Amino acid sequence: MSEVSETTPQPVQASHPGGPAPHPGAPHQAVPAPHQGSDTVPAPGAPGPYPALYPPLGGGAPGFPEAAQPDRAPLAPPAPHGPFAPQPPHIASAPQAAEADRPGPVPQTALGPQSAQAVPGPQTASTPQAGQPAPGPQAAPDALGPHTTPIPQAAHAVPGPGPQAPPAQQGAQTPAAAPRTLQYRFDGPEDAPVLVIGPSLGTTWHMWDRQIPELSQHWRIFRYDLPGHGGAPAHAAASVAELGDRLLATLDGLGVQRFGYAGCSIGGAIGADLALRHPHRVASLALVASSPRFGTADEFRRRGVIVRTNGLEPMARTAPERWFTPGFVAAQPAIVEWAVQMVRTTDPGCYIAACEALAAFDIRGALGRIGVPTLVLVGAEDQVTGPAEARTLVAGIPDARLALVPGASHLAPVEQPAAVSDLLLMHFSTAWQQDTSAAIPVLPHVTAPAAPSTPFVPVAEIAPAAATPDAVAPTPDDRYEQGTKVRREVLGDAHVDAVNNTADAFTEDFQELVTRYAWGEVWSRDGLDRRTRSVITLTALVTAGHLEGLAAHTRAALRNGLTPAEIKEVLLQTAVYSGIPAAGAAFAVAQKVIQEETTPPA
């Protein structure tokens, strides 16, 4: 291990101008240079830059592709070398944490026999002195099924303030409280370029376990958990941009300035956001089962209402059909149950916050500004973010290629691990060879508050805006734009679209007045939160007998965080002061809406 100062961590620089030379004699499959808007979707078995290496799983077909392909030779990307080879990251004086009660690796019963391997132990709690030998290896079981390559492992839990979170897994380290960082772990050689891998909503870093043996031979793999996932501290993040900021703060603390990035679903959204707002940090990008916009805002806000009302069990129960193909569910029940347990052990508040973040995420108009080599990888049978969303990404990102994985649904890294590993190896080895961004200066990361209406505008870091005097009122156009945004967030896109579609020359001025005055001024004020405004609005509508608007605002109250029990209390309180008949009619309207909004999918 390199000598490391006890007080100053060594920075990591993951870029290599011109790319390192490949290993002598190592097999390496080159990928043709990507071109703008390329939509390369090879049929199973057809040749192409991203060949379909493995047949899809049939109904009840046993095992993973590795079992069917025992002689498959993995790709060997070039090894790092030269003056830009990174130095090992280091954290000084981090106390050991106990083993977490969290969903661990994929169950072994579904993956066949395996034996324990010698795995380098986690980093020690104190800084090694110059000339002091590194800790010796210790025996640890393989994370995911039979492999022959030892996996260097070191895990780190980064807690924030507040109640004590569940401890991280064995070998974890816990730096000082840092609420704007994420729980993470490292795998792979310390002198290799850093490859960051992000999870999907409702999963932990273990969803990537089967990719680690191959990827960690060539890169320093950094995996992280979303807030409240996998035992991570339950400090919810309000947006995808905030999750990206926390990830950068974690990497900054480790001295990692430039890195490759691969992420699944919301993990892919975080990577795309970083490529837009911090292009000098991301050397290459892989978006797995991702999208420039995830469904509709109404869908994700309703999912949040269901979780707030019923807990995470409805999401856990429907996870197998969203994440896996029917054949995989039938063939690998233990792995499917393991995946379901990841959802059950997630913090509900953090899950709801992530749903809200995805509801607001929309970078369709900014895709052209992603300037790094990008692989868009999607399962051929993905019903959540399928090939159509993948083609939208490829069409919008100038330097993007598309890879379609047969026999895979949303969690392709779990369902078709060998194919996904090969595609990532191929992409990142080629992309880093072509990387010419080392000359871009690395600026210090500055966290700035994102503007509500333009969360993805900044290309580089910006300083916090100066405080605006209260006496300066927004212009009418500003109020209308803000009102449109808030009105859609509260009432939903479907309601606002229906109102706008029925407007004509006679009513359009009235709708503009409502948008600008009610939503752009009153609902946009900071004096009350939206929960409180919903309580007041429900009371006023019942008292005045305006039941025609009660259904929409009952739905809005649920999305603003009120539970059905709290809405019931509001109507009971209203009955005392506004009359039994008015409250009785309101109960009938609210009951129907609550049943529609809170009933989980069948």
Q: Which long-range contacts (CB under 8 A, 24 or more apart) does 335-339 make?
A: 335/106, 335/107, 335/110, 335/111, 335/414, 337/107, 338/103, 338/106, 338/107, 339/203, 339/207, 339/411, 339/414
- Per-residue confidence (pLDDT) for residue 433, from 0 to 100: 56
What would the pLDDT profile of 187-206 be if each residue is shown by its tens digit? 999 999 999 999 999 999 99
User: What would you measure as the largest C-alpha separation in the chain, in angstroms?
Assistant: 86
What would the pLDDT profile of 204-237 be if each residue is shown by its tens digit? 999 999 999 999 999 999 999 999 999 999 999 9
**pLDDT category of residue 260 using cuts at 50, 70 and 90:** very high
CB crowding 257-278: b at 16 or more within 10 Å, else e: bbbbbbbbbbbbbbbbbbbbbb
User: Per-residue pLDDT averaged across 548-560, rounded?
Assistant: 90
pTM for the whole structure: 0.64
CA distance 170 to 148: 22
**Bridge partners for 221 per DSSP:** 187, 195
**Of 212-226, 440-454, 544-558, 575-589, minimum mean pLDDT range:** 440-454
Tokens of 363: 């970078």
- Per-residue confidence (pLDDT) for residue 338, from 0 to 100: 94
- Per-residue confidence (pLDDT) for residue 495, from 0 to 100: 87
What would the pLDDT profile of 4-63 be if each residue is shown by its tens digit? 333 333 333 333 333 333 333 333 333 333 333 434 433 333 333 333 333 333 333 333
CA distance 579 to 434: 73
Question: Parallel, antiparallel, or unpaired for β 172-173 and 282-288?
Answer: unpaired
Neighbour-count burial of 104, counting CB atoms closer than 10 A to its CB (0-12 exposed, 13-18 middle, 19+ buried): buried
Question: Which residues are within 8 A (CB) of 236 and not within 5 positions of it... i.e. 6 or more apart?
Answer: 227, 228, 347, 349, 350, 352, 353, 354
Do residues 202 and 177 make contact, with C-beta atoms less than 8 angstroms apart?
A: no
What would the pLDDT profile of 273-309 be if each residue is shown by its tens digit? 999 999 999 999 999 999 999 988 889 999 999 999 9
How many residues in the chain? 602
**Bridge partners for 12 per DSSP:** 256
**Of 128-137, 325-334, 515-524, minimum mean pLDDT range:** 128-137
Query: What does the mean pLDDT of the chain come to?
Result: 73
Tokens of 232: 């991570």
DSSP, collapsed to helix, strand or coil, labels residue 322 as helix
Q: Is the pLDDT of residue 149 over 60?
A: no
Neighbour-count burial of 575, counting CB atoms closer than 10 A to its CB (0-12 exposed, 13-18 middle, 19+ buried): middle
**pLDDT category of residue 476 using cuts at 50, 70 and 90:** low
CA nearest to 210, candidates 163, 161, 258, 151: 151
Residues 554, 555, 561, 564, CA torsion sign: positive
**pLDDT category of residue 243 using cuts at 50, 70 and 90:** very high
Q: Is the pLDDT of residue 354 over 70?
A: yes
Q: Is the pLDDT of residue 325 over 70?
A: yes
Question: Parallel, antiparallel, or unpaired for β 194-198 and 220-224?
Answer: parallel
**pLDDT category of residue 493 using cuts at 50, 70 and 90:** confident
Do residues 541 and 553 make contact, with C-beta atoms less than 8 angstroms apart?
A: yes
- Per-residue confidence (pLDDT) for residue 241, from 0 to 100: 96
Please state the three-class secondary structure of 484-539 as a single string: HHHHHHHHCHHHHHHHHHHCCCCCHHHHHHHHHHHHHHHCCCCCCCHHHHHHHHHH
User: Per-residue pLDDT averaged across 112-130, rounded?
Assistant: 35
**Of 216-230, 238-252, 483-497, minimum mean pLDDT range:** 483-497
Residue labelled with tokens 């005097």? 469
- Per-residue confidence (pLDDT) for residue 548, from 0 to 100: 87
